[in-house]
Amino acid sequence: MHVAQAQTELFSLSRFFNRNPATSPSTKKSFFKKSNSKVARPELIRADQTTANDLFTKARLVLNINGFIPTQTSNGLEYSFILPKYLIDKFMLIDKIMQSNPRTFMYFATNEAEQILAVVVEGSVEDRENNQNFDVRMVPWPFAPSGKASVHYGFYRVFQSVKASFYRTLAAHMNEFPEYKLWLVGHSRGAVVITLLFASIVSACPKPLTPEMCQRLQQTASLSIFGSPRMGNQAFVDYLLGLNVNIQRVTNFIEETPRLPPKALGYRQINNEWWYDGTTLWQCAPNEKYETTACNGGTKFSFKNGHPYHLAVLGHPDKPGQPKQSNSFLTP
């Protein structure tokens, strides 16, 4: 799917900000598990205009990275990324990191008018990446002081492979733009990767980042993750919450990815949820630390119905060269 086509579809996201307050999603019982239909839901707060605008822009930034064109080569299916110098809303592409094994792509962009430095990490686009996605063994997370935190092994491998390039590139641009706000954005697997990178910086401040840069990241950066799967065990979730950083975990209607890997394997999820229910963007149970059944976690689980919603936020095709099944993550 070409970026221009995907962007056109994503413009329906503008409804994000201009709707009248909607009926509480608790009335949409047909989408929720029967066991939850009579349970009082924790507090839901309609997103304010500023938060909605920021998340809309971040979603569009991630869209650019998933606007790829598949081409058949002698080595199999390869992808050409369409990243214009000027992205959206006056964001200008300044750098990128690409690697093939495991395949990872991220870019750096700036908005001079609003003084923002954004780092954006893509989700999975190839079937072979499922080798990492489905490797659900857990390994120790070395940055947690308790020694009990563990994370998804497949995602940890991607983190390990890209961290040196990321630290080096981020330090260079933070030095170049010392007064800029920092946006860290990721989708799906990319949401986990950017979270692990951010957490490692806050915990250990690896070189060439300076203590001043790490403090700036912890105090001012916003981490916005779209359709993020669960990353690790309960100890990792507690460690992540203990970093006291600004995390926005965005979920879309009935998408299944935020509920994977399953709890039966020991995986857990933070709350910090902003959920689009098909009508309105809600902040879900803001007083809760851990994932709840108030929003996405309480909807009926379905790979068949949930996956299009997971991909639709980005205008991402379900298969290379094929249109996605839903026009935007605002359109059930």
On whether residue 176 sits in a domain, the answer given is yes
Contact between 67 and 82 (Cβ < 8 Å): yes
**DSSP assignment, residue 132?**
H
On whether residue 19 sits in a domain, the answer given is yes
On whether residue 226 sits in a domain, the answer given is yes
pLDDT of residue 18: 35
How far apart are alpha carbons 32 and 75 in whole angstroms?
A: 45
CA 234 to centroid of chain Cα atoms = 20
* Closest CA relative to residue 252, chosen from 321, 198, 326: 326
pTM for the full predicted model: 0.81
On whether residue 329 sits in a domain, the answer given is no
How far apart are alpha carbons 38 and 249 in whole angstroms?
A: 26
pLDDT of residue 122: 86
On whether residue 321 sits in a domain, the answer given is no
Domain count, the chain: 1
How far apart are alpha carbons 313 and 6 in whole angstroms?
A: 10
For residue 200, give its domain range.
Answer: 3-312
pLDDT of residue 3: 37
How far apart are alpha carbons 129 and 135 in whole angstroms?
A: 10
How far apart are alpha carbons 311 and 318 in whole angstroms?
A: 7
Per-residue pLDDT of the chain (332 residues; tens, 9 = 90+): 333 333 333 333 333 333 333 334 444 445 666 544 444 556 789 988 888 888 888 887 886 654 443 444 455 444 444 455 666 668 898 999 988 777 788 999 999 999 999 999 988 765 455 556 678 999 999 999 989 999 999 999 999 999 999 999 999 999 999 999 999 999 999 999 999 999 999 999 999 999 999 999 999 999 999 999 999 999 999 999 999 999 999 998 888 999 999 999 999 999 999 998 777 888 999 999 999 998 999 888 777 667 666 765 544 444 333 333 333 333 32
* Closest CA relative to residue 269, chosen from 289, 252, 283: 289
Q: Please say whether the dihedral angle defined by the alpha carbons of residues 166, 169, 175 and 177, taken in this order, is positive or negative.
A: negative
Domain harbouring 306, CATH code: 3.40.50.1820
On whether residue 49 sits in a domain, the answer given is yes
pLDDT of residue 60: 79
Structure tokens at 91: 């964001």
pLDDT of residue 89: 67
On whether residue 326 sits in a domain, the answer given is no
Longest CA pairwise span in the chain (Å)? 57
pLDDT of residue 123: 82
pLDDT of residue 119: 96
Q: What is the DSSP annotation of 21-90?
A: PPPPGGG-GGGB-GGGTTSPPPPEEEPPHHHHHHHHHHHHHHHHHT-EEEEEETTEEEEEE---SB-STT
pLDDT of residue 191: 95
Q: Where are the beta strands (DSSP E) in 199-327?
A: 222-226, 246-252, 273-276, 281-284
Radius of gyration from C-alpha coordinates of the chain = 19
On whether residue 317 sits in a domain, the answer given is no
The alpha-helical segments, DSSP class H, found in the chain are 3-10, 15-18, 49-65, 130-133, 153-176, 189-204, 211-220, 234-242, 303-312
How far apart are alpha carbons 201 and 218 in whole angstroms?
A: 8
Structure tokens at 203: 């915990």
